[in-house]
Structure 1
Amino acid sequence: MADVGGIGDAGAERIAEFVRPLRVEPGSLVDLAKDFDPRYKAHLDKQDAADLLRTGVELLSEYQTRLAAQGTHGVLLCLQAIDAGGKDGTIRHVMSGVNPQGVRVSSFKVPSSEELGHDYLWRYACRLPSRGEIAIFNRSHYEEVLVVRVHPEHLDRQRLPEEARGPALWERRYRAVNDWERYLSDNGFRVVKVFLNLSKEEQRRRFLQRIDVPEKNWKFSAADVRERRHWDEYRQAFSEMLSATSTEWAPWYVVPADRKWFARICTSAVLAHTLMEIDPQFPVVGEEARRELLAAKLELEREEP
């Protein structure tokens, strides 16, 4: 790999090595409670953390420019987390060094009546990236096997025909999502998925902070505590989702989220690593275009005072 932004192969390899333990191996059986520690921080000290984040942001900035210039690939970053997992802050910090014109963030709340009139993937398909663009889903199509699974009453609003229900519903959705992501990958759109893994105790602490600090009251809703009562059900749904949908073409990365600074470093590294794998290049102009450039240069130089 060529030197990018002065970082070189060593920095790129460090990014690749850093994200490797976070990746959910396709076909593996995940148990979140046993397999991933929300407080893991890879023995980084503050200086290492700052250096790694800088490297990740610099790589993102350079590769985003290349991605837009080449105009053949797009990248979709899916962020999933339990409430207070830090999705908004992660997006804000990770994308701090990129051109906002090349990034689109979509948040998915309760579906509208129009969205419910379509298949469950329709509203997500409408927000996919263009070629040369990075799209971020703040929550994503995986809500359809998480919230809807924990609260099956939501299926009633989707007005599914009777034959589309039943015990095999979730396996069919896993298969459909995998096939959809494979289709996107085959057409030049890379899908990378990050689960911010927050502990129950850290969620409790963040909820209390949102209540105690007036400037954060707006972030808190009583519904958050009601959802917390389903903690075990969500952990089981997340574990099954990770097991069933981490694929070679669209892998999941489980990012420890109890330390916000570390979650941001991990997400930055994962996204940078994805762009490194694409390795977009600046287009090389043809001979005719080159002659036009030289003619334009000559005309401009003649105007020199």
Structure 2
Amino acid sequence: MADSRAERIARLIAPLRVKPGSEVDLARDFDPRYKAHIKKKDGVELLRSGVTLLAEYQQRLAAQDTYGVLLCLQALDAGGKDGTIRHVMSGVNPQGVRVSSFKVPSSEELSHDYLWRYAARLPGRGDIAIFNRSHYEEVLVVRVHPEVLDRQRLPDSVRTAKIWDRRYRDINDWERYLTGNGIKVVKVFLNLSKEEQRTRFMKRIDLPEKNWKFSAADVRERRHWDEYQAAFSEMLSATSTKWAPWYVVPADRKWFARICTAAVLAHTLMDIDPQYPTVSADARKDLLVAKRELEAEAPEGSAADPYEARHERAGS
């Protein structure tokens, strides 16, 4: 990653990366209000630069058609996932990006293994897939609400106290398999404070145009705050790996969360360093033959190669 931009991005996201093998305590290790001494007024330009960088590298990723990228976004309710996706991906080609949101499993999905529905939405080569909530729901919501596990119709021999350790291992192995097949996995947890969540809930209640985003179920789920914090801490500890690291992004300031998420995704793409394909010498000869034929069709008074002529004028 010779690009100097890569070094700046790496410095920004380094404090957010969960070191593989470390034991995470969210309350102790990550501050939801951290902003790296960046001022909000500077954040607009930083995000714009990040979006431009993503567009550049997405085009190269699609052209190379070798790697795919999977971005997993996790957060509690009102964590800012939708807004982050909307802002961070605002400049990319929508043909190369697919966003999947995973709701309550359907009867068909419950008839398969718990990773089945996620595997069906993985990116193809040259594409970026975003999971708005992901396979990590299977060790978060399912853990906090054991009744969800009941609906998965697992054999009694599987439903033991070690089921969560087994799922962590399954997920790590699956992500390693994906990485080994050219699918880069990058994982972002938007870390929201309890008070900021309360503030955002109140806003959704107070503003009529935001009422649709709020449900009484959100408050019921908030009652499990401590259980979720423990589940997130254990998940981050068990599943941040060298091949698929977790980044804990401070989410109390939406503008900073968007900058960091763009930086994490850009860092992944720059690490891949996709290149535009080059053509063979024979193919290049064919291109030159086609060029001469097109030049011969130029109307009188027009440049034989308008593109070349425009760039010559721009450079003079």
TM-score, length of structure 1 as denominator length: 0.97
Letter in 2 for 1:192: V
Q: Hey, what's the Cα distance between the residues in 2 that align with 1:129 and 1:91?
A: 16
Contact 2:63 2:277 in 1 (8 A): yes
Q: Give the aligned partner of residue 282 of structure 1.
A: 276
Q: Hey, what's the Cα distance between the residues in 1 that align with 2:219 and 2:52?
A: 38
Residues 1:154 and 2:153 aligned together? no
Residues 1:188 and 2:182 aligned together? yes
Q: Give the aligned partner of residue 217 of structure 1.
A: 211
Contact 2:179 2:185 in 1 (8 A): yes
Q: Hey, what's the Cα distance between the residues in 2 that align with 1:239 and 1:46?
A: 29
SS in 2 for 1:114: helix
Q: Give the aligned partner of residue 227 of structure 2.
A: 233
Q: Give the aligned partner of residue 245 of structure 2.
A: 251
TM-score, length of structure 2 as denominator length: 0.93
Alignment of 1:96-175 (within 5 A): 96-175=90-169
Q: Hey, what's the Cα distance between the residues in 2 that align with 1:121 and 1:238?
A: 19
Q: Give the aligned partner of residue 29 of structure 1.
A: 23
Which of 1 and 2 has greater Rg? 2
Q: Hey, what's the Cα distance between the residues in 2 that align with 1:183 and 1:228?
A: 35
Query: How many percent of aligned residue pairs carry the same amino acid?
Result: 80
Root-mean-square deviation (Å):
0.9
Q: Give the aligned partner of residue 208 of structure 1.
A: 202
Q: Deviations over 1:32-59 (max 9, x none)?
A: 0110000001111234323321221121
Contact 2:73 2:189 in 1 (8 A): yes
Q: Hey, what's the Cα distance between the residues in 2 that align with 1:151 and 1:191?
A: 27
The 4+ residue runs of structure 1 with deviation greater than 6 A are none
Q: Hey, what's the Cα distance between the residues in 2 that align with 1:96 and 1:13?
A: 24
Aligned residues: 299
SS in 1 for 2:90: helix
Contact 1:11 1:55 in 2 (8 A): no
Q: Hey, what's the Cα distance between the residues in 1 that align with 2:183 and 2:53?
A: 19
Structure 2: runs of 5 or more not aligned: 300-316
Q: Hey, what's the Cα distance between the residues in 2 that align with 1:48 and 1:217?
A: 31
Residues 1:15 and 2:32 aligned together? no
SS in 2 for 1:162: coil
Structure 1: runs of 5 or more not aligned: 3-8
Q: Hey, what's the Cα distance between the residues in 1 that align with 2:4 and 2:134?
A: 34
Contact 2:66 2:125 in 1 (8 A): yes
Q: Give the aligned partner of residue 260 of structure 1.
A: 254
